[in-house]
Chains A and B, each alone.
Chain A
Amino acid sequence: MRNLTLLGVLVCALLLCQGFVQGEEARSIFESPTPPQPAGELDRIVFAKLEQLGIKPVLCSDAVFVRRLYLDMLGKLPTSTEVREFLADQSPDKRTRLVDRLMERREFVDYWAMKWGDTLRIKAEIPVNLWPNGARAFHRFVWASLASNKPYDQFVREMLTASGSNFRVGAVNFYRAVQDRSPAGIASMVALTFMGVRTDHWPKERLDGMAVFFSQIAYKPTSEWKEEVVFWDPWGLRLVPTNFVPGRDTPGTVRPKPTDEVVSPAPPPISQEPLVGVFPDGTKVTIPPDKDPREVFADWLIRPDNPWFTKCIVNRVWAWIMGRGIIHEPDEIRDDNPPSNPELLAYLEKEMIQSGYNLRHLYRVILTSQTYQFSSIPRNLSPEAMANFASYLPRRLEAEVLIDAINDITGTTDLYTSAIPEPFTYVPRDVSAVSLADGSIISPFLTLFGRSARATGAFNERSNKPTPSQWLHMLNSSAIYSKLASGSKLTALFRSGRPIPEIVDELYLTILSRSPTPEELQTCKEYIEKSRSRGEAMVDVAWALINSPEFLYRH
């Protein structure tokens, strides 16, 4: 690491002699000269903490902000027109107004539905096997809930208490999107998803106590191919061997009635033995036989004084936006993994509860804060500075966001398909990768760039870590090259006959959401003019921009 830093210094020194943009001049592209002022309670808490650490934060420039906000809210880049409009706007509250405007966009729902898709494991095939119709129904449920800004507590309760067909009642797929459908397996998944807790660290009794609430869930196939009904089964019908085929491999197979049997036995009476469940906080509860235990659990979970529920969601949303949880990892909530700033977490919880679990309110509180608008150029790389959000954490764009951005820039599309189950699925060309409902619908790019496998729903299941193979693809693949060289938008620009500086300016605004500095413009101009093929040289400029960290990383 030290060697790298040294190398960086040397390289910078070398570059200084060659007149590249750097130092204060370079910073001024990305940072605002206005010193940050706490804009509300959230900022006051964060600034106080940073002062303790002796860190003076810096705000990002307008150009950085507009790009950052589009990527964080919509999972897509602003167009060059949108960038120009925002930069030209002189009103002091334009950043806040942009937050409000973007919240009304359809892509806002698409993008957040994608994140929930990872968390809830929306995938037709292995290992959770929702099947295509189930995956779609589940995604529709999530999408519609986010679009109508359904209160989060209600959103969760609907999933936890749902019954019905996986095709018709989207929310029941919550109980199908789990590999291990035993009561303990489901309890584990519920804890991970809504409490941010890994039950692996729990004593066995605690998991067993929680599993009781999920001990009466049954699944049954119908005569429709891959339809499955999830229902509350207080009779224990699922335990009668001829009644229920849990067979994950042959859903929809209804067992033929055995010829030597007269009729199926009548349903056994509901057990009069009341169930005794134990909530994860240790409270015992007796569940009356006529009450679905899932409801008892849901009502305990979504209470504002539940020690996990609100903490988990505010921390999760914060981590999605800021790149790191106040408790980190966001699904590692436990006593020996304390929040980096307890006061900040408590404040967000309070906001969430007072707003009636209004997710958009939570987004707004975070996105309109000065803290969110900090520069991404770190002044301090200590773990404390990172854990306290002293600068915006650069992160590589997610696979879906990255390919959508490349396609938007170049005017191209990708083919998304699912080879399984037959018949093959082909998605229309104008559908963005972000809005794909089903994790089984893939492209080689999405796979290569670490899209979530949607197997466990863990926060870190998606990997944005760079690998050499990804670089090979970005730098040198025919797939990317043909987009740059023959995509309709770029070729139109290259062949427009406009002067080179205008073309370079448009490229910069489209790809990096800012205009080039005079030095950068000069570099591009020289490269294009010196080249034997102007067309190829312009492709190379676009190629260099999409391979820069400024493009590949949200910053």
Chain B
Amino acid sequence: MVKEDRLTETRVSRREVLRHGVYGAGGVLLGSALTKSVVAQEAASAAPPKIKPKAKSVIQIFLWGGMSHNDTWDPKPGAGRDYLGEFTEVIDTNVPGIQLSALFPKLAKQADKFSLIRSMTHGNNGHETAAYIMQTGHLPGERLAYPSIGAVFAYFKGQDYKGIIPPYVVLTRSPGRFSEEGFLGPNYKAFATGGDPNAARFEVEGVVARGITDDRQKARRELLDKLNTFGRLVVDHPEIALAEESKRTAYELILGPGREVFDLSKEDPKLRDAYGRHTFGQCCLVARRLVEAGVPYIVINYPGGWDTHSNHFATMRRQCPQLDEGLAMLLQDLHDRGLLETTLVWCTGEFGRTPKVSWEPPWNGGRHHYGNVFTVLVAGGGFKGGQVVGASDEVGAAVKERPVYPVDLLGTIYALGGIDTKAKLPHPEGLDAPVLPEPNDRVKSAGLLTELIA
């Protein structure tokens, strides 16, 4: 029985393969790679997944640059000025026993909806390497470069997703620090919206064009067809046929109803205010609309970044209230609409920041990269709220209890998304490429986050 379930997860019909030719990697090749993976899986018989899939969509809020854990969600009020810096105040939340930095009053009222992992660790202090580890679960130095969790979701969940909007959307820009689609190919690249949802009109790059009326769109499309002298002669060529096919898909988005998803003027201005009239807040609102449209994986790359080697406290004072406002309202709004059950939200950077403040010049009160221990916020999609998993030590410098490694976190997210982490990704050369690595002496694991599963 279990075996059968696992089969249906990756088996795709020829028709689906063709559909993947539009959003998916090159048709036939993909088909054969998948057949191989199905065969491989029939041979392997793993234990049944303990976690029931609940998440239809995932919103990943990526705090690019690495947000300080001490100053935010793992406060250490007794640690002294060397560690505390300027933020000495903590506040209670609506869950007894859980406290946050006073920079997060709105989130404090939603603590029953999210849980905190205060013992996230991978030990890497390089932005790009840590970002790769946190978003793939794999360590660099292997033969392959793996795709990000968003691309993997797009690959697996995209098979049942029929929307016009691409299955993996980034608000608003991709950091572009590693090839997020990896060997899955360009069809699994995130669709980066560009534009600013907090502007008068959210101009989604390529979807909502400035100053081009629909009439002009149609007139110039006709012109394009008329002048396509060469294209008509090679229309049968597979390369050109593929191009025409993907162009038609693009036009569905340009002229069709898909663009309305990005039209925030359809939202109640009061609700827009509640999300916060800033880019991040409005990104959260767009993310909710994308969830409603069925998009499987949405990333909000925090505009601005958290790489606060210097000017740390001022940056935190400016950004934390925005993060607080947008994230708290997102959780509230998803909950109010009954979407939180099926929408998984996770929020973290690639690492935390040094618990000890660098008061000396040139930092003058800065915090540096710190992958030894940091905090992750998770909510919805099958995650319990109101919990704290693990703990850091008294200054936030090391894991004190229950380490959580990238494969533990990602493994749980995959499980809640109904993706088998042992499934093979379709590598173009048919190489063995599992969704997540098996734990070994390099890849550490302390087990899935079953304590957070509702």
Contacts and interface: CB of A to CB of B under 8 A. Distances in A.
A12 B232 contact: yes
Contacts of A536: 216
B429 A458 contact: yes
B313 to A, nearest CB: 20
Contact of B231 (A378, A469, A550): A550
Interface stretch (B36-44, B178-186, B314-322, B404-412): B178-186
A433 interface: no
Contacts of B141: 127, 179-181, 248
B250 A524 contact: no
Nearest to A482: B210
Given A125-B177, A468-B253, A448 B189 contact: yes
A494 to B, nearest CB: 16
Nearest to A179: B141
A306 B194 CA distance: 52
B246 A444 contact: no
B446 interface: no
B234 interface: yes
B246 A471 contact: yes
B233 A377 contact: yes
A548 B254 contact: no
A453 B179 contact: yes
Contacts, number: 239
Interface string B183-220: 10111010110100000000101110110100011011
B173 interface: yes
Contact of B206 (A11, A27, A477): A477
B140 A179 contact: yes
A453 B145 contact: yes
User: What interface size band does chain A fall in?
Assistant: 35 or more
B209 A8 contact: no
A5 interface: yes
A549 B227 contact: no
A468 B140 contact: no
Interface string B162-182: 000010000001111111001
B129 interface: yes
Contacts of A15: 232
Most buried by B among A126, A129, A523, A536: A126
A419 interface: yes
Interface stretch (B69-77, B119-127, B286-294): B119-127
A447 interface: yes
A126 B234 contact: no
Nearest to B231: A549
Interface string B144-171: 1100000000000000000000100000
Nearest to A449: B186
Interface residues of B, number: 76
A127 B228 contact: no
Contact of A465 (B125, B186, B429): B186
Interface in B373-392: none
B242 interface: yes
A465 B185 contact: yes
Interface in B123-142: 124-129, 132, 140-142
7 contacts: A29-B229, A249-B126, A468-B166, A469-B189, A471-B249, A517-B229, A520-B227
Interface of B: 22-23, 26, 124-129, 132, 140-145, 166, 173-179, 182-183, 185-187, 189, 191-192, 194, 203, 205-207, 209-210, 212, 216-217, 219-220, 223-224, 226-247, 249-251, 253-254, 428-429, 431
Interface of A: 1, 4-5, 8, 11-12, 15, 20-22, 26-27, 29-30, 125-127, 129, 179-181, 185, 188, 198, 200, 248-250, 376-378, 381, 393-396, 419-421, 442, 444, 447-448, 450, 453, 455-456, 458, 460, 463, 465-473, 475-479, 481, 517, 520, 523-524, 527, 536, 540-541, 543-545, 547-550, 552-553, 555
Given A126-B145, A378-B236, A471-B251, 18 more contacts: A4-B235, A8-B236, A12-B232, A22-B229, A125-B178, A185-B143, A188-B143, A249-B126, A249-B129, A420-B177, A421-B128, A458-B429, A467-B186, A468-B23, A472-B253, A477-B206, A541-B223, A555-B230
3 smallest beta-carbon distances between A and B, as pairs: A472-B206, A471-B250, A453-B179
